[in-house]
Every structure is written in structure tokens, then in C-alpha cells.
Structure 1
Amino acid sequence: MAIIAKARAMRKGLTPAEARLWLALRALRPQGLHFRRQAPLRGYYLDFFCWARGVIVEVDGGSHHVEDRARKDRVRDAVFAREGIVTLRYDNLAVRDELSRVVEDVRLRCLARPTRSPLRGDHPPPQGEGDDFN
């Protein structure tokens, strides 16, 4: 339960850039792009996550340019890449000064990816589906 509580607290404490981007990303819902904010996954808290397309959107402040932080970001991104999840990173200034360009980039990159579905692959259809009842 501590993980959920931390995620909730983080949602209440969004940075100005994250709050601005969150409002803009919510406008993409009619296009089937639903984002969760501060979503916990694999021991990380993702700024924004579109599960259906396997896209993480991160807003990076100045601390992400410090070498140790940048190295941790690369490791984290590689963990998710092995699962077919892509991470898009934008810095605070881009969100502040070029919000429409950032949102359009996120939109296009999400829509270019296939929809992830729990029914993909070798899952059989639900009971009764596919039966011939002539």
C-alpha cells in the first residue's frame, strides 16, 4: 500500500511543467491515448504512462543532466525497452516554451505504435466464441 500512497502524493506534487503537460495529454483521450500520471511500475514512478501504446513520457528537470542521474535514466529506459516500452523524454523548458510541439510529438509517436492488448498472441477466445452453432 505504500507504493500507492507514494504515487498519490506524487500526483499532488507535480512540478509546473508536469502539471502543464498533464492537462495537455488529457486532451488526447478522444484519440484513444489514455495516460496515467505518476504510475508505479517495476519499482519506478513514471511521470506519464500510456499502457495501451507502451509509451512512457518523462519531464526532465535540471537534475537529469547530472551524470549519475542520466546514467540511472539510461538504465531505467533499458529495463522498459526490453519489455517493448519506449520512453520519451522532454525537458522542462520544452514543455514550457513548446508545449504544442511536445504534445504533437507524443501523439504521433504513440499512434505510430501498435496497440498493446492482453488478448494478443496465443490466447484462446473466451468460452463459446468461435464455435459453430449451425
Structure 2
Amino acid sequence: MLTGPGATIGKAKKLRQKMTLPEVILWRELRKRPGGIKFRRQHPAGPFVLDFACLESRLAIEIDGEVHSMGSRPAHDEARDIWLANQGFRTMRIAARDVLADLNAVLQFILGECKPLHHPSGGPPPRTGEEF
């Protein structure tokens, strides 16, 4: 389980109250567990808070607004991505404007990346080359 220290957990709780419009719009859909996949919002991860996370798929989802291309933010985002990769997580970055422009396309993109790491219960694992 990916988590963070007390200060990060506190920050995550505060950020849940101050989500951006694109985050709120996306969360309305992700909280419905599309495809049976569970997502978390503003999830603490070490010293960072992830916008969204699918722990089962080890996927971090970041909604990037214009500020992510300014000042020291790109270096901060790269450090976060490297830290997450060292924890076994992939990072998916989605532009906030894409969430506002085509929510359904964003949802399909996210669900396409959320592949479970383990085979479903109730049956054997898939043969090599087969999807499950």
C-alpha cells in the first residue's frame, strides 16, 4: 500500500476540499468505479499527494493545468515521476483542458491503462499472449 507521513496525509485531506474543476469533473466519474476499477483521489504517496491513483494497477493519474509548465514545476513533476517509478508506479499525465474538452475520451484512456496486475479470482491465469 502506498501512503505517506502524517503531514502528507493531512495535506491530502485538505486538498480533497480544494479540488480543481477538472479534478471534480473527473472524480464524479471515477468514483463510480468504471469497469469495476477502484480509484482514490488526493492519495498520499511518500512526500507527494497524487491527484488520483489506481492502486490495483499501480497507476498514478495527474491532472496538469497550465502551471505545470512554469518555473520549477516541470522539475518537481519529473522528481515525483521518478520517485513513483522507484515505488513501482506508472504516472499518467493528463492536461486539465482535455478533461474539460472530452471527458469520455479521457476516461477511456485511463481505463485502457488500468490493467490489473493479478489474474481475476475464480480461474487460472491467462495463457501467454491472452488478455484477461
Distance in structure 1 (CA, Å) of the matches to 2:75 and 2:15? 23
TM-superposed CA distance for 1:84, in Å, is: 1.9
Choose the corresponding residue for 1:70, options 74, 86, 96. 74
Q: How many residues align?
A: 114
Per-residue deviation, residues 26-68 of structure 1 (Å, max 9, x unmatched): 23x2533111111111110000011111001110111101152
Map of 1:82-97 to 2, 5 A cutoff? 82-97=86-101
Instruction: Give the equivalent residue in structure 1 for 2:53.
Output: 49
TM-superposed CA distance for 1:5, in Å, is: 2.8
Matched residue type, 1:50? C
The DSSP-based 3-state class of the residue aligned with 2:93 is strand
**TM-score with structure 2 length normalisation?**
0.79
Choose the corresponding residue for 1:5, options 6, 10, 15. 10
What stretches of structure 1 move > 6 A for 4+ residues in a row?
none
Matched residue type, 1:11? R
Per-residue deviation, residues 71-98 of structure 1 (Å, max 9, x unmatched): 1111110111122200101111000001
TM-superposed CA distance for 1:4, in Å, is: 2.9
> 1:26 and 2:31 equivalent?
yes
Instruction: Give the greater-gyration-radius structure (CA).
Output: 1
> 1:107 and 2:75 equivalent?
no
TM-superposed CA distance for 1:9, in Å, is: 1.4
Matched residue type, 1:4? I
Distance in structure 2 (CA, Å) of the matches to 1:71 and 1:115? 33
Q: Check 1:62–1:108 CA distance in 2 against 1; reply closer, same or farther (3 A cut).
A: same
Cα RMSD of the aligned pairs, angstroms, is: 1.8
**TM-score with structure 1 length normalisation?**
0.77
Q: What are the ranges of 5 or more consecutive residues in structure 1 without an aligned counterpart?
A: 117-134
Identity value in percent: 34
Q: What are the ranges of 5 or more consecutive residues in structure 2 without an aligned counterpart?
A: 1-5, 120-132
